[in-house]
Amino acid sequence: MRERNFSGKRASACASLFFPHAPKCGGESERSMPKIEKTDAEWRSGLSPAAYHVLRAHGTERPGTSPLNHEKRKGVFTCAGCGRPLFASETKYESGTGWPSFWAPVSPDAVGESEDRSWFMKRTEIHCADCGGHLGHVFPDGPKPTGLRYCMNGAALSFKPAGGAE
């Protein structure tokens, strides 16, 4: 196995207030090598083309195209690549961006961060902590209590309703 480390800045000081184990504002957040590793062929065969494009090729789905934008049931949003729980339905909100948005992950260790300097800007990219799949980005313009907007690609997520009913 090879070792990879990703680091990036916390998007808001508010995160450390609600997640005491999260890195402090301005501090580096490190994420070590993903726990789940597969070959590119294994990922490609196990994911839909849209999920592969987002999770493995760091793509972005078109805004407004994900059925998860309209998901209102209680439950948990998981990684479409590995099934890790990422966001609780209680933290989902309508951001008006066209992508599913959340104000916090289910736990500070559910996601990892890295600096993204693509598209001539600096952003904080969000990855699944278990498989390393690209999920989206976090921005400091979300609602209370954290002030964060985890803007996620719906193709990178699955939804598990509370109680197991689909």
Rg (CA), the chain: 15
- Token pair belonging to 116: 């993204």
Position of tokens 């509370």?
Answer: 162
Find all residues with CB under 8 Å of 62, minimum gap 6, and list them: 98
The CA distances from residue 121 to 117, 118, 124, 125, in Å, are 5, 6, 10, 12
Count how many Cα atoms sit within 13 Å of the Cα of residue 38 in the half-sphere of its side chain: 18
User: Catalytic positions, please?
Assistant: 151
